[in-house]
Amino acid sequence: MNDSNPLISLKGITKTYGKGDAAFQALCGVDLTINRGEFVAIMGPSGSGKSTLLNLLGCLDQPTGGSYRYGSVHVENLSTDQRSLLRRHAFGFIFQGFNLLARTSAADNVAMPLIYHGVSMKERRQLAKKALETVGLATKLKSVPSELSGGQQQRVAIARALVTSAGTLFADEPTGNLDSHTTVDIMNMLTRLNEQDGITILLVTHEPEVAQYAQRVVVVKDGLIESDTWNRKPNLASA
């Protein structure tokens, strides 16, 4: 059922790194609204501010100014510990480099976030198995990353992002290390997660072919949103 209030609302968001003559303003007053269940791609040239924007949205960094509301929570007012709790319970992250523990099985890699949720070992194993089944890796529970292809490793990373039942996924260049065939496979999977499970996805990419899987494409340039266009409208009624 669609929520009448936006999931994410940014107003006048700025981000400055450094001080004095060395100061660099990465974001210059960004306004952005995202509804629950949307799939949004964020694009822009190197240094445009797109990764900074994703980091702020995912509470991996804090804005210098402006307002960031996630649901009813005013994120800019949260302490470091409170932002960490929001990340832990509401967000999942997918990165270009997979970030898997090399000597750890796929199931244990996926179960890792559940340790911080206080979930028992038995339940961690059950949830990790279910998440790996969701991404088509039911037969790879005991495999370590070196025994998996790049696409399979990214599937493990996606399962890890899903295992806590996070409603919002942040993906930073998730296909950057993958070939074109595997890229299609991963993007089809993210599309299914969005359309069938109602997961909100925000994805940073420099590849137009990848951005076309999203419902909206937001282009960032010089720290501002240059354009915000629709590829297709989401079915928010099922989100």
| Residue recorded with tokens 């649901």 | 71
21 has pLDDT over 90: no
**What was the pLDDT predicted at 235?**
59
The CATH architecture one would assign to domain 36-61+82-238 is: 3-Layer(aba) Sandwich (3.40)
Q: What is the mean pLDDT of the chain?
A: 92
C-alpha separations of 130 from 121, 124, 156, 161 in Å? 14, 10, 12, 13
Question: Are 39 and 236 contacting, i.e. CB atoms less than 8 angstroms apart?
Answer: no
If you average pLDDT over residues 154-172, what whole number do you get?
A: 94
**What was the pLDDT predicted at 2?**
45
**What was the pLDDT predicted at 234?**
65
Q: Structural domain boundaries of the chain?
A: 36-61+82-238
124 has pLDDT over 50: yes
- Using DSSP, state whether 188 is helix, strand or coil: helix
C-alpha separations of 203 from 53, 131, 139 in Å? 11, 20, 28
Name the percent of the chain lying above pLDDT 90.
85
Name the nearest CA neighbour of 211 among 236, 235, 193, 228: 228
1 has pLDDT over 60: no
DSSP-derived pairing of the beta strands 200-204 and 39-43:
parallel
